[in-house]
Structures are given as structure tokens and as C-alpha cells.
Amino acid sequence: MNKHHYVAIMAGGIGSRFWPKSRTSYPKQFLDILNTGKSLIQWTYERYAAFIPNENIFIVTSDEYVSIVKEQLPLLPAENILAEPSRKNTAPCVAYISYKLLQKDPEASLIVAPSDHMILDNEAFRNITQKALDFVTELPSLVTLGIKPTHPNTGYGYIQHAPSTTTEGIYKVKTFTEKPDLELAKTFISSGDFLWNAGIFVWQVKNVMKAFELHQPEMFELFDNEKTHFNTASEKEAINRIYPQCTNVSIDFAIMEKANNVFVIPSSFGWSDLGTWNSAYDNLEKDYLGNAVTSENVIVIDATKCMISATNDKLIVVQGLDDCIIVDTKDVLLICKKDKEQAIKEYVAEVKRNKGDRYL
């Protein structure tokens, strides 16, 4: 293992599209969504622990989730759990860990990854990540892993790359596109030069901080003014001063879409972002009628292609439903059509308007 290799696992989101199982107090990264016996963050941690030194693995999360991280990842040093005082999207999160590492190890190479993605082929993932780590030490660059698309998915962002490679298997990025409509997604797929944006990034911290200085000078200055506090007892106080002044912006929009030294590696390693109940359905075993059930206490009668998530505390009988999401928790039952899953955030907003925060 290389002592200059680090990973920052981002675990501060609330996973509202997995409501009502994912709640603000206990979001999806800490849940066993696929009924495997481990939470998503535990799988992510183990994936990186195979090739990144344990002391070089960091979790960036919200203040309120620190105790959950400690409980679920007992082998991780407590000082490697970085608590954000407020949710400001991914750019401040990346600036925080990058600036912290820059003071500690100027030669640090950093992987930035979500905590809630599924990867089936860990060996292929490790090989591609290592390729990215090698590349960023040779060339001042920002690398992202792009997933070779299998169908025109409208729930993912897309990356367009140049037709020819700079280094074998690594391409210069031309454009980033947010979630397209179906017709545009079909055009992307047929063109052959678009990839799904996995949100996994690799760079040397000194180079991403140069990008912040160039493209996000105000945010850069906020962190630079407090740099003497990083890796000291006063770091938390410094972060509490910085975050209220940070713009709420993603790393994609803040840096990746603006920088001219961004590269992508087309990748296939059994990836899913597990962003919705449909993505969970796609990755679960089905019965002979196409139902995916994560409880041993469900009886299905004349129902097809349903996603059914429930505890074993009570018997649930599902009859006559087709292509539905059914999620039962101790205080909320959700039943909606699978093709309406993108509206679950709207349903959560409706619950908040009518019932307050009790069920969120």
C-alpha cells in the first residue's frame, strides 16, 4: 500500500429518494438496502481498505452522523471522521479534506467517492482506480471514472470524452451534462462517446487546490485563511467558521465543468449508484413473477414486478399490484408506481407540509 494514497468517503447525504426507509436521522448510507448483512458505507469502507492504508481512509459526514459512523466502522480511527457543521453539497466537502491533507502530506493523492454506491467487481475497480492514481502522479490532472452505459438512463449525469486517448484508456473530457430527457439520453448512447458520471474522482490534492484557487477563489480563500488550524485541536472551530460562508455547490459544477485538465477512464466494474428504489429492485433477486422482496414475512398474491421492502415484525400481504414500490416501516407505509419514483422527493415535501418533520 502506498502511504501517499488516501480516500475520502462522502457520507453526509440524507437519501430522500429512499424514503421512508431512509430518514434524516438515519439515512440510506447506514442502511442494509440490499439485505446483505452490511450497510452501504460498510461495503464502501471494505472496498477501499483492501488497497488504501486504514489510517488514510477518511469519512466526511454531517455532525449528527458521527456516532453512527463510529458504530458501523469501529476499525476506523476516530480522528478520520470529519464532521461538517452544515450540508453545503460536495465542493466544500472536497475542499475540506483536500486542504487538510495538503497540510499533512503535500504529495497526497486522493480518491473522492460516495458512500452509497454498489460495485460488484472489486478487482476491476481496484485496477482502474490504481490506473487513475498512477496517471495523476504523472500529469497534473483531475480524473473521473465514467461508467460505460448499458441503456439510456435519465437518472444519471453524462460525460462526453474526446475520440482519442491521451494515455491508453484515459480520455480528455469534453463536456458534462446533467440528467437528460430520454431522447437526449438515447442520442448520447448511440454516439458512443458518452459515459455515466459515477461521481468518483482521483487527483493529487495540490492540483485540486490549484483548481479551487482558479475557479472558486472565494471558497479557496476561506480555507486558506484558516490553514494553520488544520490537523490541530482548533480544526473544528475553524470549520465552523468556514462552512457558513461557503457556497452550496457540487464539485462537478464548481470545478470539474470549469477545469481544462479533466480526464475520464471508461469503466466497467458492476456499478450502480443505488439512488432509487428502482435501482435497488434492479440489484435484488426476484421471484418467478418479478417481485423483489427484502422481508421473510411477505405473502405475494397475483402481484408482479413489485419492489417490496419491509421488516419481519408483521405479516404483509400484497395482492393485485403491478410495477409498484411498497415500503413498510414502523410508522410509514409507502405505495407508489415504480415509474413515479423520481417524485418521491415531492411526496416527502408534501409530508413535511402536512405533517411537519415527524415522519422525515
Q: How many domains does the chain have?
A: 2
Q: Which domain does 114 fall in, by range?
A: 5-272
> Are residues 255 and 283 located together in one domain of the fold?
no
Bond into 92 cis (ω within 30): no
> Are residues 317 and 190 located together in one domain of the fold?
no
Residue range 314-333: mean pLDDT, rounded: 95
Torsion angle, alpha carbons of 296, 298, 301, 306, to 10: -90
pLDDT given at position 9: 97
Q: Of 230, 247, 272, which residue constitutes the final position of a domain?
A: 272
3-state secondary structure of 216: coil
Q: Which three cell numbers stand for residue 189?
A: 448512447
> Are residues 255 and 309 located together in one domain of the fold?
no
> Are residues 333 and 260 located together in one domain of the fold?
no
Q: Report how far residue 95's alpha carbon sits from residue 213's, in angstroms, rounded to the nearest whole number.
A: 10
Residue range 323-345: mean pLDDT, rounded: 93
> Are residues 262 and 310 located together in one domain of the fold?
no
> Is residue 360 in some structural domain?
no
> Are residues 107 and 235 located together in one domain of the fold?
yes
Task: Tell me the pLDDT tens digit for each residue of 71-129.
Answer: 999 999 999 999 999 999 999 999 999 999 999 999 999 999 999 999 999 999 999 99
CATH number reported for the structural domain that contains residue 165 in this entry: 3.90.550.10
Q: Report how far residue 135's alpha carbon sits from residue 75's, in angstroms, rounded to the nearest whole number.
A: 30
Residue 23 pLDDT > 90, yes or no?
yes
> Are residues 84 and 36 located together in one domain of the fold?
yes
> Is residue 177 in some structural domain?
yes
Average pLDDT of the chain is 92
pLDDT given at position 302: 95
> Are residues 186 and 58 located together in one domain of the fold?
yes
> Is residue 44 in some structural domain?
yes
pLDDT given at position 186: 84
> Are residues 296 and 255 located together in one domain of the fold?
no
> Are residues 229 and 317 located together in one domain of the fold?
no
pLDDT given at position 181: 80
Task: Tell me the pLDDT tens digit for each residue of 205-251.
Answer: 999 999 999 999 999 999 999 989 999 999 999 999 999 999 999 99
Q: Of 251, 272, 293, which residue constitutes the final position of a domain?
A: 272
Q: How confident is the model at residue 184 (pLDDT cuts 50, 70, 90)?
A: confident
> Are residues 258 and 291 located together in one domain of the fold?
no
What beta strand segments (E) does the chain contain? Answer: 5-11, 57-62, 81-84, 109-114, 118-119, 142-147, 158-167, 170-177, 194-204, 262-267, 271-272, 292-293, 298-301, 307-309, 316-319, 324-328, 333-337
Q: How confident is the model at residue 189 (pLDDT cuts 50, 70, 90)?
A: confident
Torsion angle, alpha carbons of 113, 114, 120, 125, to 10: -10
- Answer yes or no: are the C-beta atoms of 117 and 273 closer than 8 Å: yes
pLDDT given at position 336: 95
